[in-house]
Structure 1
Amino acid sequence: MAKQAKSDRQKVIDDIRKKQKGAEKRRGFMIVGVCVVVALLIIGAASYRPLKNAWDLRKFNDLGLASIGAAPSACEKVETKTAEGNNDHIPTNTPVVYEDAPPAFGPHWNEFGVAPAPMDRKFYTDADRPELESLVHNLEHGYTVVWYDETIAEDADAITELRAVAKQFPGTDNYRYKFIAAPWTSEDEDGAAFPDGTHVAYTHWSVGGEGETDAAKQVGVWQYCSEFSGEALETFMLDYPYLDSPEPTVE
């Protein structure tokens, strides 16, 4: 009887162990399954935005710059202001308070890989935009910078439009394509808001005409718009090309 009782107890123990192993195995499969699902969700989330952007940009593939955006009447008259700060390089990470919103000239950083921002990037969001002190250095090198405010940033169609515009200026070989679109966060740390009713600003640092060497003739150039106008931008960049800048032959 004692031997039988021991055998029965062992059977019960073996059954319990078997069930525990089965439960552990099922938990292991569940954990692996959950990890796979989470990984797929992460991959899907990461790939969704680039795929969505590419899909949305298709309608702009056959359009020239002048055909993108609103009519030139969406933009105000060009403004200029005597410029200063040519070759005024200050230490990186030293903040500059620019009087204008946005700046078109002024002191700026000068560090390889930081300032100016690289020419291969044409479009930035608030998440990855270079500091103002870097972008002002781009202006000194002949760039046209198109700034957009929070109203544009929150409009998916308007942002898709600006992404399409950025594609009009590919590569780093042609200096006529010195272009950057970047956000202006007036409610954060950048500065004042754009003039009432405007949400886009084109800026350029002009020497007063191609080949001009008299620093006293340098001006900052602005054109504010209620919405983006490719036709107005095209005219702006023809009137103020990269050669009309303090350091046009530097990337």
Structure 2
Amino acid sequence: MVIPPADSLQHRRVLICRPRPEAERLADAFRSAGAKVRVLPMLQREAITNDPSIRTRILEIDQFNHVIAVSPYAAGLLIDWLDTWWPQTPSGILWYGVGAGTAAVLAGYGLDARQPTAGHNSEALLDLPELAQLEHQKVLIARGEQGRDLLPEMLKARGAGVTLLPLYRRFAPEHDGATLQHSLTAFDPEVVVTLSGETLNNLICLSNNTDHNLGNSLIVVPVERIADQAHKAGLQQTCVPESLADHDIVAAVAHRLASADASPEIPSKDARD
């Protein structure tokens, strides 16, 4: 999808609910397209620093054949641990990022990171040929304390010995009534960006304390699975970008809103180029 013109979202109201600092970077991209933007994180993250098992896993990382980071945040924390305990990164490991952004973080540290050829989720990663046959292979997955079971379960089914490496915990932020009023009811966003199922759930929960009707907003979600989750919650206007790169998110929103302006009704499914 092409990058939209600088004025393609002129005066459109966009609320970004992803965690900082990613939210601020995406906000700048929307502002560059002319949008009015507010940031209201619906997910906070905290690195785990006091668990001695993390250091043990990091010191044993050379025993793994494959190391997977599930998000840019997980990849960044993994690199911090590697930088502390491995003066030289061990060889013989295949590194993976679930999505281009995660792979880019690993690549920035000098790691030859593999990523899905299409898509940016666990299902797409599992299509890589390197992960097809894993008998007698050991896989380490860097992620948060809680996460989807699909990736570890599928890798185990393919014969791998899988070890989870929780590097951070996620929790819902506490926003007072005035903050919610300012960002939801008063701002009345036309577009709300929620790039995880947990973020979407937290938004729905907190929005119940306001007069804002989320059903009137276009909800940007990362994959069709989360779009289905939104639909079940009564939010029918959803958009799934081609990728989670900032310019692709902005382009997808610009395309959908332009389509809506030309049509009396926004379709409930993603309209892709």
The interval holding the TM-score normalised by the smaller chain is under 0.3
Bigger relative CO (Cα 8 Å, ≥ 6 apart):
1
More strand by percentage: 2
TM-score normalized by the length of structure 1: 0.22
TM-score normalized by the length of structure 2: 0.20
Rg comparison, structure with higher value? 1
